């Protein structure tokens, strides 16, 4: 199975998301060996989930969840609150670590709450020094120098890093960092990479679908 995961980050108004969905649904063709995941801002989760529920092999997840279970934590969106709406959440993205000071302890708490509420973490690491919590299946390796820079890490370097990382048994290894349709095929040719976590390219449905189509043929 190939996994193409799109992270919208803090982008798209409601009308812009509606336009994205309209274009995506018209062009999307499912493939039995390709799973597509989409991670919008929290405000778009309901809309995107409802709009794409009829599509095969497509799921919607959150970009993060709270490290708290519940209680007096104004502004937090807990795993409990998202339970039943999503089945996946990105946890540990380097932007969350950098801009919001999320530590390994905080991220481990997020994973615990996610798993307790039936949410599968897409756990992001920057290198082999970032620990991976027990129970994680999806590990997304995102070298910081490649995120949003247009300078993707070469596939051979990514495979070398995979060998250094202490991956959990039966894990799914995902690469993220300036992926597009032009370079995606080289990663799949290694037979070491199961999919991608994509940022900027996600914002254009046709560019995103171009990567999906590469996964269908490799």
Model confidence pLDDT, tens digit, residues 21-33: 999 999 999 999 9
Residue appearing with tokens 């982008």: 11
What's the pLDDT band for 130 if we cut at 50, 70, 90? very high
Beta strands in the chain (DSSP E): 2-7, 34-39, 58-60, 88-91, 120-125, 138-141, 172-175, 195-198
What's the pLDDT band for 4 if we cut at 50, 70, 90? very high
Q: Where are the domains of the chain?
A: 2-217
Q: Of 44, 93, 95, 120, which one is the catalytic site residue?
A: 93
Query: What pLDDT digit, counting tens, does each position of 45-74 carry?
Result: 999 999 999 999 999 999 999 999 999 999
Is 2-217 CATH 3.40.50.2300?
Answer: no
93 has catalytic annotation: yes
23 has catalytic annotation: no
Q: What is the rounded radius of gyration, in angstroms, for the C-alpha atoms of the chain? A: 16
Calculate mean pLDDT across residues 88-96: 97
Calculate mean pLDDT across residues 88-113: 98
Calculate mean pLDDT across residues 115-122: 98
pLDDT mean across residues, the chain: 97
Q: What percent of the chain has pLDDT over 90?
A: 96
**pLDDT (0 to 100) of residue 126:** 97
Q: How many residues does the chain have?
A: 218
Calculate mean pLDDT across residues 18-22: 98
The pTM of this model reads: 0.96
Is pLDDT of 183 > 90?
yes
Distance of alpha carbon 173 from alpha carbon 196, whole angstroms: 9
* Structure token pair of residue 28: 């999307």
Distance of alpha carbon 38 from alpha carbon 35, whole angstroms: 10
Q: Of 102, 120, 142, 153, which one is the catalytic site residue?
A: 142
């Amino acid at each position: 199975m190939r996994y193409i995961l799109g992270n919208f980050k803090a982008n798209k108004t409601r009308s812009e998301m509606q336009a994205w969905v309209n274009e995506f649904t018209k062009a999307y063709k499912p493939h039995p060996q390709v799973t597509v995941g989409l991670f919008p801002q929290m405000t778009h989760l309901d809309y995107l989930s409802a709009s794409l529920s009829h599509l095969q092999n497509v799921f919607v997840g959150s970009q993060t969840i709270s490290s708290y279970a519940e209680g007096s934590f104004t502004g937090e969106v807990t795993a409990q609150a998202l339970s039943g709406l999503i089945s996946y959440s990105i946890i540990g993205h380097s932007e969350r670590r950098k801009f919001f000071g999320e530590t390994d302890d905080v991220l481990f708490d997020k994973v615990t709450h996610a798993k307790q509420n039936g949410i599968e973490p897409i756990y992001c690491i920057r290198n082999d020094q970032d620990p991976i919590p027990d129970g994680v299946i999806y590990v997304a390796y995102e070298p910081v120098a490649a995120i949003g820079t247009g300078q993707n890490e070469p596939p051979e370097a990514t495979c070398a890093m995979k060998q250094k990382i202490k991956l959990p048994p039966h894990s799914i290894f995902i690469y993220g960092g300036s992926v597009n349709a032009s370079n995606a095929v080289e990663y799949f040719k290694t037979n070491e990479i199961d999919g991608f976590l994509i940022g900027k390219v996600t914002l254009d449905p046709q560019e995103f679908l171009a990567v999906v189509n590469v996964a269908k043929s490799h």
